[in-house]
Structure 1
Amino acid sequence: MSLRSLRKDQFYLLIDLVVNIPSTVGEKDEMMGECFLSCYQREDEDEDYGSQCLYCLDHILRTPPLINTSDNNLAMIPSTSLPFFGPTCFKLNEVKLKEVQEFYDEYKKEQAISWYTRNSFLFRLLNEACRTEDIDKIYTFRYYIRDLYERLSVLHKNYVQYLKSKETKSIILYRGQQISEEELQELQNNTGKSFSTNTFLSTTTYINVAYVFAGIDIDPIPDSPEEKILKRLQSSEKQHLKNKHNQPPSEEKLRTMRPELSLNRAVLPCDYSKSAQLSTHCKCRSVVFSYTININAFTKPYADISEESYYKDECEILLSMGTIFRCESVEYSRNKNFWHVKMIMIADNNGNDADSDTHSQILNDIQQKPILLTLGKFVSETSDNFDKAERYYRMFLESEIKNPWDQCDAYEALGSICKKKSQYEIAIEYFEKIIETCKKYSIENEHKSTQYMALSYVTMAEIYTITDFQKAIKHLNTVIELRLYNSIKMAKIYNMLGDIYRTRTTLFRKALYYYQSAHRNDPTNL
Structure 2
Amino acid sequence: IRTVVKHAHELIVQIANDQTDREKIENATPLSVFNRTEKTCVDLKTENSIFMWFELFIEILIRMKHTETSRKELVDICKINYEGNHIQLDIIEEFDRTYTPSKAIEWYTRACCIYKILNKALRIKDLDILFAFRFLITDIFTQLKQEQQRFLRDDPIIIVYRGQAISMMELNRMKSSIDGFIATNTIGGDLQPILFEIEANTRLETKPFANISHLSYFRQEEEVLFILGTIFRINNIVYSQKQNIWIAKLVLCTENDDELKTVFDYMKNEIVEETDLISLGNLLWEIGEFGKSEKYYHRLLNMELPTNDVNIPRCYDGLGSIAKDKGDYENAFIRHKTALDIRLKTLSHNHCDIGNSYNCMGEVYRKKGDYDNALEYYYKALKIWLNTLGNDHRRVSWCYNNIGNVYENKNQYEQALFNYNIDLKICQKILPSGHPDLACTYNSIGNIYSKKGEYDLSFDNYEKALKIQLKSLPSSHQLIAETYENIGALYELTNKLDLALLNYNKAAQIFHSSLPLTHPDVIQIENFLRRVNDKLK
Per-residue deviation, 1:480: 8.7
Specify the alignment match of 2:262 in structure 1: 357
1:459 to 361, 364, 367: 364
TM alignment of 1:405-424, pairs within 5 A: 408-421=313-326, 423-424=328-329
Deviation by residue 1:175-213 (Cα, 9 ceiling, x = unmatched): 1112222111010011101121128xxxxxxxxxxxxxx
Mapped pair 1:394 → 2:298: yes
- Give the alignment partner of residue 141 of structure 1, picking from 122, 133, 139: 133
How many equivalent residue pairs? 361
Checking the alignment, whether the CA contact within 8 Å between 1:404 and 1:441 is kept in structure 2 is no
Task: Classify 1:402/1:388 alpha carbon distance in 2 versus 1 (closer, same or farther; 3 Å).
Answer: same
Deviation of 1:21 after TM superposition, in Å, equals 1.6
What secondary structure sits across from 1:26 in the alignment? helix
CA 1:491–1:405 in 2, change beyond 3 Å: closer, same or farther? farther
The aligned amino acid for 1:323 is T
Separation in 2, partners of 1:480, 1:142: 38
Q: Give the match for residue 231 of structure 2.
A: 324
After TM superposition, give the deviation of residue 406 of structure 1 in Å.
Answer: 6.0
Name the TM-score, length of structure 1 as normaliser: 0.61
Q: Which one is further off, 122-131 or 476-485? A: 476-485
- Tell whether the 8 Å contact from 1:376 to 1:393 is kept in structure 2 after alignment: yes
Contact 2:308–2:346 (Cα < 8 Å) also in 1: no
Radius of gyration: which is bigger?
1
C-alpha separation in 2, matches of 1:303 and 1:487 = 48
1:348–1:112 distance in 2 versus 1, CA, 3 Å: same
Contact 1:434 1:453 in 2 (8 A): no
Check 1:332–1:114 CA distance in 2 against 1; reply closer, same or farther (3 A cut): same
Q: Displacement, 1:355?
A: 3.6
User: Structure 1: 5+ residue runs without aligned partners?
Assistant: 40-52, 56-92, 200-253, 257-282, 466-471, 499-514
Question: What is the identity, as a one-letter code, of the residue corresponding to 1:149?
Answer: F
Q: Which amino acid aligns with 1:3?
A: V
Is 2:358–2:381's contact at 8 Å kept on the other side of the alignment?
A: no
Is it true that 1:18 corresponds to 2:64 in the alignment?
Answer: no
Could you report, residue by residue, the CA deviation over 1:292-326 in whole angstroms, capped at 9, with x for unpaired residues?
01111122222222223222333222111111100
Match of 1:189 in 2: 176
> Residue in 2 aligned with 1:111?
103
Q: Cα deviation per residue 1:484-514 (whole Å; 9 max; x = unaligned)?
A: 6889855644665x5xxxxxxxxxxxxxxxx
Separation of aligned partners in 2, 1:480 and 1:358 = 27
2:46 is aligned with 1:54? no
Per-residue deviation, 1:422: 5.0
Alignment correspondent of 1:169: 156
1:237-316 matched pairs, under 5 angstroms = 255=188, 283-316=190-223
The amino acid across from 2:249 in the alignment is K
Moved more, 175-184 or 366-375: 366-375
Q: Given the alignment of the two structures, is residue 2 of structure 1 paired with residue 32 of structure 2, yes or no?
A: yes
Partner deviation per Cα, 1:364-401 (whole Å, 9 max, x = no partner): 223389442332233234354x2211122233445658
Q: CA deviation at 1:447?
A: 5.7
8 Å contact from structure 1 (residues 290, 340) kept in 2: yes
Residues 63 and 274 in structure 2, CA contact (< 8 A), matched pair in contact too:
no
* Correspondences of 1:54-93 after superposition (within 5 Å): 54-55=83-84, 93=85
| Correspondence for 1:101 | 93
Name the structure 2 match of 1:432.
337
Q: Please state which structure has a larger fraction of its residues in helix.
A: 2
Write out aligned runs for 1:228-239 (5 A): none
Distance change (3 Å), C-alpha of 1:113 and 1:455: closer
Which whole-Å CA distance do the structure 2 matches of 1:421 and 1:364 have between them? Answer: 29
Please state how far the C-alpha of 1:444 moved relative to its aligned partner.
5.8
Q: Which has the higher contact order (CA 8 A, sep 6+)?
A: 1
| Closer, same or farther: CA 24–335 of 1 in aligned 2, 3 Å | same
Q: Measured at CA, do residues 154 and 519 of structure 1 come closer, stay the same or move farther in structure 2, by a change above 3 Å?
A: closer
1:490-505 matches, within 5 Å, as 490=403, 492-493=405-406, 496=409
**SS of corresponding position for 2:338:** helix
2-structure distance, mates of 1:100, 1:186: 38
Give 1:34's aligned residue. Answer: 77
For residues 401 and 198 of structure 2, what CA distance do their matches in structure 1 show? 55
1:122 corresponds to: 114
8 Å CA contact 2:63, 2:273 repeated in 1: no
Match of 2:240 among 315, 318, 333: 333
CA distance in 2, matches of 1:389, 1:17: 14
Q: 1:153 to 1:458 in 2, by over 3 A?
A: closer
Question: Which stretch has the larger CA shift, 300-309 or 362-371?
Answer: 362-371
